[in-house]
Structure 1
Amino acid sequence: MPIEYRPAWPDETALVLRLFRVPFRSGPHLRIFVASATEPRERVVGCFVSCATPALAGGDGRERCYFVWRLLPGYEDGPVRAELLERGLVDVASVRALPLVTQDLLESADCPRAQLLAAHGFAQLETIDEYQAGFDEVWSRCRRIHERLERHGGVPAGGRVLSFEPGLLPAIRTALHNDHIMNTAEFDARVGGENAERVDLERSTAIVVNDELVGLMAVSPVAGERGYVVSGRWVDPGYRNGWVNAELIYNSVRQGVPLGLEFVRFVASQKRHQETARLAIRLGGEPVRRLIRYARESQ
């Protein structure tokens, strides 16, 4: 079957983002390259979508380009996969000399996708562990932690426990991006409801002290809303050993009680988020999956 590789046409943007569940929003930093079958009728069968993310104040000062590389069933294991990656990389390099980072995570360094990435100069950037615990067990442990906090005075003066209110979103976005928890492109898509794991703004928790953001926990409904995934968690270094951690998890989990959830899932980078891993284990979480992110410096 003849396959054409080309930049997406403007009127294909919305279709591609929806069809392949791309976790980026359309905008000036987005570039879409597609594989299109030309017979018996023309249709997009794969995409290579990249999104440049700016360097934000307080971060490491580096711009990066995140990308997804996805195909329809029936094309994933054929030659189109390798050809789309190669041509997509050439296309993005023609307009952006930035470090490239995979948005999608791989479950094995030996899988065909990992081998193709390695052949194009990509190396493992980080390993990410997922932990899962039964919701009832998490809620029981959270209540006990909260009760101990209340006995010691509760939330101190000047502290407020809030949902992800609109006025807080810029600070939340920056904190998640700069700590390499969730890049700005992914955050914008999740908040905009354009991602399979949208951030639940009402049930996510932000904590401010004297109007300064000191902690946040983003939760996303998964598995047909049978569970929560803690898709982003950040605490200011000056507050990591105190009440903020307890209030973040207690408030976010409490919001899920009326929903009849079955489980809570935590995501933690081995390199940067050991505290989240320790929290997951403390709440009864068991490791369920290990994932790998790949990256390549600009060429």
Structure 2
Amino acid sequence: MANTIMETNFRFAGQKKVYKGKVREVYTLENDILVMVATDRLSAFDVVMPKGIPFKGQILNQIATKMMRATEDIVPNWLMATPDPNVAVGKACKPFMVEMVIRGYLSGHAAREYKAGKRTLCGVAMPEGMTENDKFPEPIITPATKAEKGDHDEDISKADILSRGIVSKADYEILEKYTRALFQRGTELAAKRGLILVDTKYEFGKTKDGQIVLIDEIHTPDSSRYFYAKGYEERQARGEAQKQLSKEFVRQWLIANGFQGLQGQTVPEMTDAYIESVSERYIELYESIMGEAFIKADVSHIQERIGQNVSNYLKSV
């Protein structure tokens, strides 16, 4: 088993504060600079699993940052540099307290709600007569409130976001526009790899000068769901499960072992063999999504490597 990074405690030059999310740890420095470290923590049903997944942080960081570079012509983002395989450095901004979830297909959470008899999700109507993994006539935006650490994200409608003043009407219209543009680009990029971008989430913030920018991760297997395009129609016609590229395989394993993040439930044991299989699956996800071989970084002294690479970069800024 390779070394994993479950927690960091760096002291970078000019450091002001640290925020530790479910997977990423964000260091705020002077001059409005953020250092975001992608750990190997695995989160499912808004619960952080007790063991890390080797190379997961590197995989997520590299997909997210490369996808940001591939979309910066249509949506501005916070990214400045990637001084380490697990690290992104960018502009500090105030995050909007909503996640912009967009769905092209009836899958995951939407499918579970649909099976329960619901035909409206976040104030958006879903057509009658759909089968799990069917394509929506048009992609739907189903926002969620951004949870504080340890809390669950919750579905919320556009009307509630506006009435509660979580986001202004003018800003929300920009978020919607950017969300649809990013999903369209993501769909095109996925198609080139023989994949279908099923659904995803985007997070945005506002810089001190008032610019709305894309933040956090984008088009990663943690934030997105992909199907293999080949055989999609045939599997739907036969009522078979779709071949997926996403974190859904972890969720399904947890559900099969009696865990959905509900009160009183215990995370099932994650053996070394299972952890290794998840790591291998994430590498497969990277190579399929990016269309290139994954190169494992040296993890023999992972904390020291990250600290040195970031410090060297900051000296050059």
Shorter-chain TM range is under 0.3
Determine which structure has greater relative contact order: mean sequence separation of CA pairs < 8 Å that are 6+ residues apart, divided by chain length. 1
Q: Give the number of the structure whose residues are more often strand, by fraction.
A: 1
State which structure, 1 or 2, has the greater radius of gyration over its C-alpha atoms: 1
